Amino acid sequence: MYDLVIKGGLLIDPYQGIMEKMDVAISDGKVSALEPHISASEGRHLFDASGQIVTPGLIDLHTHVCHGITYLSVDPEASCLPRGSTTVVDAGTIGELLFEGFRRFIIDASRSRIY
């Protein structure tokens, strides 16, 4: 049994050359199966992705995610993963004097990878 089955979405995976409607099964946080049809009963949880794009995590190369430390930033928890970015690069929001606070309170606490 899978932890999650994502059904009915348009799977776009350039690395594998896939751009078609496929179901995705997830177990232990990793993709376990990609098939045209995976039964909903095979998963503990079901996500209906009909009419949506399913793709591996995106990388945003220019962000400002030092939220709460500088005003010119967005909250990475509200702005990154919910919009598909699993990895983001902060484009120099702060200098070296505040970097330790940025690392402790933002980078280390975020579910997204922040560089």
Q: Which pLDDT value is given to residue 28?
A: 96
Concatenated DSSP letters of 73-115? ---HHHHTGGGTEEEEEE-S-S-GGGHHHHIIIIITT-SSEE-
The CATH architecture annotation of domain 2-54 reads Roll (2.30)
How confident is residue 8, by pLDDT bands cut at 50, 70 and 90?
A: very high
The whole-angstrom separation of Cα 100 and Cα 98 is: 6
Query: What confidence tens digit (pLDDT) does each residue in 57-98 have?
Result: 899 999 999 998 888 899 999 999 988 899 999 998 988 888
The whole-angstrom separation of Cα 43 and Cα 49 is: 15
